[in-house]
Amino acid sequence: MRVLILGGDGYLGWPTATYFSSLGHEVLVVDNYYRRLIAEATDSAPLFETPLLSERCRLYKEFSGKEIACRIGDLSKPEFIFSVFEEFKPETIVHYAEQPSAPYSMRGFSEARETLQNNLDVTFNCLWAMIKYTPDAHLIKLGTMGEYGTPDIDIPEGWIDIEKNGRKDKFLFPRAAGSLYHTTKVLDTDLIWFYVRTYGLSVTDLMQGPVYGLNTFEDDMPDNLYPNFHYDDIFGTVVNRFLVQAVAGIPLTVYGKGGQTRGYLNLKDTLQCVELAAQNPSQPGELRIFNQLTETFTVNEIAERIVNAANTMGISAEIKSITNPRKEKEEHYYNPAYSGLMELGLKPNFMTDDVLCKMLTQILKHKSRISNDRVMPRVSWS
């Protein structure tokens, strides 16, 4: 397939590109380094340096013998994204090109406005590029489990059947996002559903939980081809952040009571999920939604697992509860369905001690680059 990856410089975008390339697909990655720029502006540098996208593509060819093409440009500009679609004619589009941080979206007006404009503009432009140039292509859009919030009922995979006054219909499950970033994802879903039913587009929306990990299926990949690994409070996911805190000797910072429950998955499973979605495209006029996770944990359970794994390696780690900077339920019911991708063939990589210890070993190699100031919360919701 011709696979276009929007946001190909990101934590998920780059490993998705190398994975699809390794499978023999023709891959084009597009990015404008927006995430790099705002990470620099907020003093949220990743644990180790990653080359620019064109250099990463060159290094990957040296490593694998396979090519990844790249273009640098702003996908929120219609003329640029239209030129990409017109020239490349993608058959599969993987859309990661959004501001990915809930804390960043809550820093203030300018950050909220940037998040809203960038995320919706890129999605809107992508849909119109499909309509104009590749109406038969399949869009795989990265959503988030955070769209659902924490309702006191089971969470289905995107859709819910409702009966009222003796009549039934199917609707998108009601959303209750906990940040402006997650709200833009809700708006994405509504926008996509409008264009799917109006123009007959084929779209799979992956409601993904927090991702952790460094390794892809190419375990011998050199460090300079790893995804950008953030451990800070703004761009770092909780598992990655806790692992770095353990290595640095910083108490693992559990927000509030630590009962917040979410669905998690290994980076390798993200790659599997996107591949399975690409191999099994939705039908024209269908918005197919999968919940993309493999297991659920409370924040306390994750912290305890990481402390135990660190202790087996002789790393002394402890847990500290701090005031929660976010506005969220700290104890709640949480039971999401996630059978769809399993039925397509997902083989989960669970959060075992071996997986955590392997990550701790990799992080130890870069211990000197850890900045203690970057792990404490710098953004408050109130």
Cα 59 to the center of its chain, rounded Å: 24
End-to-end CA distance of the chain: 46
Residue 323 near residue 257 (C-beta atoms within 8 A): no
Maximum C-alpha span of the chain? 65
SS3 96: coil
Catalytic pick among 16, 115, 123, 144: 144
Active site residue 133: no
Instruction: Give counts: helices (H), strands (E), the chain.
Output: 12, 14
Catalytic residue among 96, 133, 181, 255: 181
| SS3 annotation, 234-260 | CCCCHHHHHHHHHHHCCCEEEECCCCC
Cβ–Cβ < 8 Å for 267, 212: yes
Residue 181 catalytic? yes
Of 18, 50, 96, 185, the active-site residue reads: 185
Q: Is 96 designated active site?
A: no
With left for phi above 0 and alpha for psi between -120 and 50, is residue 165 left, alpha or beta?
A: left
Helix H segments across the chain? Answer: 13-22, 34-41, 53-64, 78-88, 102-105, 109-133, 180-199, 238-248, 267-279, 299-312, 340-344, 353-364
Q: How many CA atoms lie within 13 A of 254 on its CB side?
A: 20
Q: Any idea which residues carry the catalytic annotation? A: 144, 181, 185
